[in-house]
A = this chain, B = another copy of it.
Amino acid sequence: MEQLATNMCFGGEHRRYRHRSDVLYCDMEFAVFLPPVALGSGARQVPVLYWLSGLTCTDQNFMQKAGAQKLAAELGMAIVCPDTSPRGLDLPGEDDSYDFGSGAGFYLNATREPWSRHYRMYDYVVTELPSLLERELPVTDQRGVSGHSMGGHGALICALKNPGRYRSVSAFAPIANPSECPWGQKAFSGYLGGDREQWAEWDATLLIPGAKERLPLLVDQGTSDQFLEEQLAPDALADACEKAHHPIELRMHRGYDHSYFFIASFIDDHLRHHGRALGLV
């Protein structure tokens, strides 16, 4: 694990690292915010919120734009931002579009050639990266997971597929039913092929009926989000939750869009939601 940069922030530290991923067969970069209590003499290990970003993002968008460090520093919570895909593999078509390949890993394990060897972001964010961090950094195995858009989808499926692994989950404007929207269909066809039964393993709305743990979902959605109608489908997720008696708080925010100005406006509510589950509030 090579440290690329560090910036002091609200008494804690924002750091960037590069490491070799054995799961993705390439070098990966990620960012971490460590709160003041995790640093210096008398430091203690702290729980972690994993943040999964959306299409086109890197490890930096959330760290630079969400304004989450102030409350995370107060709560004593680490935040980890992985990248959104493997990079620089020279696979055919890897860099041809914003919604497939680089920057668009969709937090699944690809089964279709040529993606299946490298595009295993699910294994990376659920298993490999936490194992590495819990070994190398002052963080515990108490985890929350959240994300935005493609990363909101990622957060939901990571939690739903792994009972006991996360204490809490939330999402901003998630792609809540990817099997039924253009972004999801393009990604699932490309990474998984045409078998819709395979798709269902990576679709939060379709995972709800079989969920083995009733972890409450906190989902924020702006009503002026330019992708709400065509791509996001929070109602489908809420309907599935209602049928399955799975707890969800879906908050519709009038006038808010898909940007980080929306995320910044409500991130503190999410940090407190995770902080409560992680024993920090």
A residues contacting B by CB (< 8 A) are 7-11, 14, 64-65, 67, 69-70, 222, 224, 253, 255-257, 259-262, 264-265
Contact A255–B65 (Cβ < 8 Å): no
Contact A7–B67 (Cβ < 8 Å): no
**Cα distance A265–B9 when bound, in Å?**
6
**Cα distance A269–B30 when bound, in Å?**
30
Within the oligomer, what is the number of copies of this chain?
2
Contact B262–A7 (Cβ < 8 Å): yes
- The A contact surface, by secondary structure, is mixed
With beta carbons under 8 angstroms apart, the residue of B10, B64, B261 that contacts A7 is B261
Contact A261–B8 (Cβ < 8 Å): yes
Whole-angstrom distance between the Cβ of A69 and the nearest chain B Cβ: 7
**Cα distance A65–B264 when bound, in Å?**
10
With beta carbons under 8 angstroms apart, the residue of B65, B70, B253, B257 that contacts A65 is B65
**Chain B residues near A64 (CB-CB < 8 A):** 64-65, 260
**Chain B residues near A257 (CB-CB < 8 A):** 7-8
**Chain B residues near A222 (CB-CB < 8 A):** 8
Contact A8–B262 (Cβ < 8 Å): yes
Whole-angstrom distance between the Cβ of A110 and the nearest chain B Cβ: 32
Contact A264–B67 (Cβ < 8 Å): yes
Whole-angstrom distance between the Cβ of A254 and the nearest chain B Cβ: 8
Smallest CB gap from A66: residue in B: B67
**Cα distance A123–B225 when bound, in Å?**
38
**Cα distance A265–B255 when bound, in Å?**
28
**Chain B residues near A264 (CB-CB < 8 A):** 9-10, 67, 69-70
Whole-angstrom distance between the Cβ of A125 and the nearest chain B Cβ: 24
**Chain B residues near A11 (CB-CB < 8 A):** 265
With beta carbons under 8 angstroms apart, the residue of B14, B253, B260 that contacts A261 is B14
**Cα distance A251–B23 when bound, in Å?**
46
Subset of 23 A-B contacts with CB under 8 Å = A7-B257, A7-B261, A8-B222, A8-B253, A8-B255, A8-B257, A8-B261, A8-B265, A9-B261, A9-B265, A10-B265, A11-B265, A14-B261, A64-B64, A64-B65, A64-B260, A65-B65, A67-B67, A67-B70, A67-B264, A69-B261, A69-B264, A69-B265
